[in-house]
Structure 1
Amino acid sequence: MDPYDSDSSGFEDEGDYTETNVLLGYASEEVLEDVVSHLGGWPAWLDNSTPPPGEFANCKVCNQPMNLLLELHGDLPEYFPNDERRLYIFSCPRKPCARKPGSIRALRAVRKTTASAPKVEPKKAVTEPKKQELQPQAPKTDIGASLFGSNSLTGSVSANSNPFSSSTAGNSNTNPFAAPAPATPASQTPKPSSAAPSAESLAESFADKVRVSSPPPSSTTQAAPEAATGPQTPWPSQSEFPEPYKQFYLDAEYETMSRPSTPAIPEGVTIDNTEEESGAGGSSDLKDALESELDKAFMKFSTRLAHNPEQILRYEFRGTPLLYSHADAVGKRLHDAKGGASGARVTTVASGASNLPRCEYCGSERVFEFQLVPHAISVLEDAVGLDDAGMEWGTIILGVCNRDCGPQQAKVTGWREEWVGVQWEETK
């Protein structure tokens, strides 16, 4: 049934292959245009004078500083035209913490280029719903063109630009994963763009390809105050962190999958589909059926990734993640077993409701933004010559606030911890 039995939308059938709206990230040792988005290394902040609160640096299991797994430039001008965004995934490298909640954490940094005028909300009747549901998404534009500055029909990104990078001359719509930054990985802040978007100024970066043209849904909930009730713990010094993973930059292109060929049956050969009856086969058949159902998600996951085996990241803002399993806590939360005759679907946002937990800061629904996949582990382990660096996850799924909540003042950086769903490798 692969590759068309998919949770992701936006398939374009081109005969021998199909292309989706999922933007794939690839690790590169070569320095690319976007030096902000990277796997491993040290984090860089939107504003060096405003690092995250120190408590975000620590593993929730051992309370020790964690390693950076991924930093992604996350500007989405089509959704949040006044917001600069960065996304971070941190992971504890200590083996005793593996497979435990809180050993992998996600942060979102947001800073407005211009101040937002306060909204005056009319008083609501008691019978009015408390929260506004997500509005149906308008038809998507060519995401490939809007994010990477390329035509999605070609299935590739411009050879002269990194799809994760937005540092193109005269380009005002930066890729959410790429913005101009210094060659050193953690010091400068990308400058906000002010020019109006145009077809000629589409960013040739990973982030630009991820943007969608529809505006973000409105919400009646108010953001939580940015000011903390007490003094914040400072971010630890570099000497307090474990040795970082080797840094790799990110290149990207849209996902394409080849159509599987049907093997020909040689002449004179027949296939017997009948099974021998056995008196003791009832319980065995039931066990096989159960194992088959449990393996179905993993088979779909691995088959999908096999079309582009070098991918380390899958990005589709407000899209649907590819589940590693349906049986664990994350799979049970996101998997919809009633997804129709074709089987099941992932329900991060469906029919105006999200299965992701709501934002703890403003109460808005969360949506899927990206996920890391296992080849990222291979890249980082091979870089240091290790067979086991303590990473035992099958996929890391990031859910973010649908409103991109944060400080309303211009040039004030805010930090939010976002929902991260970790599906661990299955052990036999």
Structure 2
Amino acid sequence: MAPKVEDDWSDSDDDQEQLDVETSVLLGLPDGPVDSVDDLRDVAVSRMGGHPAFLTSPEPDVSSSQCKNCSNPMELLVQIWCPFEDSPMDRALYVWACARGECQKKDGSVRAWRSLRYNAEYAKKLEAKLEKRRKQEEARKAAEKAKEASKVNPFKISGSYSATSSFGLGTQVFGGENANPFSGQPSAAETNKDDDDDEDREYESESDSEESLVTALASASLEDSPWPAMPAYKPMYLNTTAEYLPPPPKTKVPPGAKIVDLDRDDGKDKDKNMTWLSEAYENSMEVDHVFERFMTRVGYEGKQCVRYDLGGTPLPFSHDKTFDRLFPLLTGPPVPVTKGDFMVQTSPKCVYSPSAVPNCPRCGGERTFECQLMPNLINILKDGEDDGKEAGKKSTEEERQKEVERALKSQNAKGRRGMEWGTVMVFSCKNDCCPEKKSNWAEELVMVQWDE
């Protein structure tokens, strides 16, 4: 559970050092090469590089990985096991990118796809769980209604008895934790553990789901698949950890003063204890505050390759056209200072607007931010390329200097390779719609901020 920051606003200089605060973001970190053949074939093992493992058979067509500019097959950047909470569908996300120099900074050179598979065993468990939640919610509402009635007439025995007998029900009916999108578990049944009985049923459901999943994977003939012939980086495990950030500095305010966070997005900010991490950005043309903030945030865990925050706010790389689209300028009315005699115009802010993301073209539903790829991923994949070096081995200073010289000499050459994006943001359909019942394979929206 995330540590909390106490709002004591003490005047003492001897305050105990505050603990770091956990955010809603899960960070994907490199965790060594994937050497196990079983893990390479297991769709529930999240990875960087390598060839994709699929949920369904027959497999998707290899055209899914083709660059829309050069029409050549692209390398897989990441594959993430990420079932939605309270969904009966097993789910995986795939992102491909073209490394050819002439395709950089062009639309269609980075593509993301989503794969679904109906999990019948978990669907039964989910139906029972939702029914339990419904009954708990009804009990909670009945208890609240009885409590309100007792306030109106405190001497009414039936109202007092009803409220007492229902005490405590439904206080945490939605207390389950979100699914870990990077976990190497073969079933969506690992999410939302309510109690011991549910854990027992979950174990049974997981076993059944694992068996059915293995059967589905086994039915896909690797010998007949064209995917192993596609270009690929060396596969690396994608491990997960929660993001922790230092708490914001305490502000000393006079007694009775009201603290108003002008950056807060109507109270919807997930990280309520961290006002400095709100979604607003200063609008300044002199300094790229967006890039500075990006570097500061990433600096707390420099190894991160993926940021996963379903329904959260993307971390923009720089102030460019994509930023202006996702973070439109928000201006407010002047703020009165004293009796309306003076007015102070607050600085314009750029605030994340989910409505700026186009709707799903298949079902017409809203899209939501799901994850983004970070610049360190480029370094990890490059270090892992099959060029005679060991996977993950760092280049020496002399080798890096030679690589820079070669890159400068070949800037105008058509054959040069290297990805030049700053971050890749993936937005998925909220409905997790199934375009085709047979394949359950759909392309999702990608927004790229390039490294200028």
State the TM-score, normalizing by the size of structure 1: 0.59
Q: Kindly tell me: are residues 360 and 195 of structure 1, through their superposed partners in 2, closer, same or farther at Cα, counting changes over 3 Å? A: closer
Query: What is the Cα deviation at residue 257 of structure 1?
Result: 1.3
Larger C-alpha radius of gyration, 1 or 2?
A: 2
Aligned to 2:309: 316
Of 391, 416, 422, which residue of structure 2 is paired with 1:394?
A: 422
Q: Kindly tell me: are residues 195 and 425 of structure 1, through their superposed partners in 2, closer, same or farther at Cα, counting changes over 3 Å? A: closer
Of 232, 235, 238, which residue of structure 2 is paired with 1:247?
A: 235
Q: State the distance in 1 between where 2:173 and 2:72 align.
A: 43
Q: Kindly tell me: are residues 179 and 261 of structure 1, through their superposed partners in 2, closer, same or farther at Cα, counting changes over 3 Å? A: closer
Aligned to 1:369: 370
The question of whether the paired residues in 2 share the 8 Å contact of 1:11 and 1:20 is answered with no
Does residue 71 in structure 1 map to residue 79 in structure 2? yes
Q: Kindly tell me: are residues 91 and 260 of structure 1, through their superposed partners in 2, closer, same or farther at Cα, counting changes over 3 Å? A: same
For residues 80-128 of structure 1, give each alpha carbon's deviation from its aligned partner in whole angstroms, at most 9, with x where no partner exists.
2x11111000011211111111000000011222499xxxxxxxxxxxx
Q: State the distance in 2 between where 1:251 and 1:332 align.
A: 32
Q: State the distance in 2 between where 1:140 and 1:195 align.
A: 15
Aligned to 1:45: 54
Q: Secondary structure at the match of 2:445?
A: strand
For residues 181-221 of structure 1, give each alpha carbon's deviation from its aligned partner in whole angstroms, at most 9, with x where no partner exists.
xxxxxxxxx4564998435678xxxxxxxxxxxxxxxxxxx
The question of whether the paired residues in 2 share the 8 Å contact of 1:396 and 1:421 is answered with yes
Q: State the distance in 1 between where 2:74 and 2:432 align.
A: 25
Q: State the distance in 2 between where 1:315 and 1:95 align.
A: 28
Q: Kindly tell me: are residues 199 and 89 of structure 1, through their superposed partners in 2, closer, same or farther at Cα, counting changes over 3 Å? A: farther
For residues 230-266 of structure 1, give each alpha carbon's deviation from its aligned partner in whole angstroms, at most 9, with x where no partner exists.
xxxx984433x22x1121112112111124889xxxx
Query: What is the Cα deviation at residue 401 of structure 1?
Result: 0.3
Query: What is the Cα deviation at residue 11 of structure 1?
Result: 9.4
Query: What is the Cα deviation at residue 27 of structure 1?
Result: 0.7
Aligned to 2:101: 95
The alignment-based identity, stated in percent, is 36
Does residue 175 in structure 1 map to residue 171 in structure 2? no
Query: What is the Cα deviation at residue 178 of structure 1?
Result: 3.1
Q: State the distance in 2 between where 1:63 and 1:51 align.
A: 20
The question of whether the paired residues in 1 share the 8 Å contact of 2:435 and 2:442 is answered with no
Could you say which structure has the higher helix fraction? 2
- 5+ residue gaps, structure 2: 7-17, 124-171, 200-223, 251-282, 333-345, 386-394, 408-416
Q: Kindly tell me: are residues 141 and 383 of structure 1, through their superposed partners in 2, closer, same or farther at Cα, counting changes over 3 Å? A: farther
Does residue 379 in structure 1 map to residue 375 in structure 2? no
Q: State the distance in 2 between where 1:57 and 1:249 align.
A: 21
Aligned to 2:285: 290
Q: Which amino acid aligns with 2:427?
A: G
Aligned to 1:301: 294
The question of whether the paired residues in 2 share the 8 Å contact of 1:38 and 1:250 is answered with yes
- Written as runs of structure 1 = structure 2, the 5 A alignment for 1:225-374 is 236-239=226-229, 241-242=230-231, 244-259=232-247, 290-292=285-287, 295-328=288-321, 330-338=322-330, 343-348=349-354, 354-374=355-375
State the TM-score, normalizing by the size of structure 2: 0.56
Q: State the distance in 2 between where 1:46 and 1:418 align.
A: 17
The question of whether the paired residues in 2 share the 8 Å contact of 1:326 and 1:335 is answered with no
Q: Secondary structure at the match of 1:29?
A: strand
Q: Which amino acid aligns with 1:372?
A: L
Aligned to 2:149: none
Query: Comparing both chains, which one has the higher relative contact order based on Cα–Cα distances under 8 Å and sequence gaps of 6 or more?
Result: 1
- Written as runs of structure 1 = structure 2, the 5 A alignment for 1:78-117 is 78=86, 80=87, 82-114=88-120
Q: State the distance in 2 between where 1:74 and 1:51 align.
A: 19
- 5+ residue gaps, structure 1: 1-9, 117-138, 148-173, 181-189, 203-233, 263-287, 349-353
- Written as runs of structure 1 = structure 2, the 5 A alignment for 1:56-205 is 56-78=64-86, 80=87, 82-114=88-120, 146-147=177-178, 175-180=180-185, 190=186, 193=189, 197-199=193-195
Q: State the distance in 2 between where 1:290 and 1:332 align.
A: 13
Query: What is the Cα deviation at residue 419 of structure 1?
Result: 0.2
Q: Secondary structure at the match of 2:356?
A: coil
Q: State the distance in 2 between where 1:302 and 1:58 align.
A: 32
For residues 290-339 of structure 1, give each alpha carbon's deviation from its aligned partner in whole angstroms, at most 9, with x where no partner exists.
232xx1111111111111111111111111100112322x2122113217
Q: Kindly tell me: are residues 54 and 382 of structure 1, through their superposed partners in 2, closer, same or farther at Cα, counting changes over 3 Å? A: closer
The question of whether the paired residues in 2 share the 8 Å contact of 1:66 and 1:91 is answered with yes
The question of whether the paired residues in 1 share the 8 Å contact of 2:183 and 2:240 is answered with no
The root-mean-square deviation of aligned C-alpha atoms, in Å, is 3.5
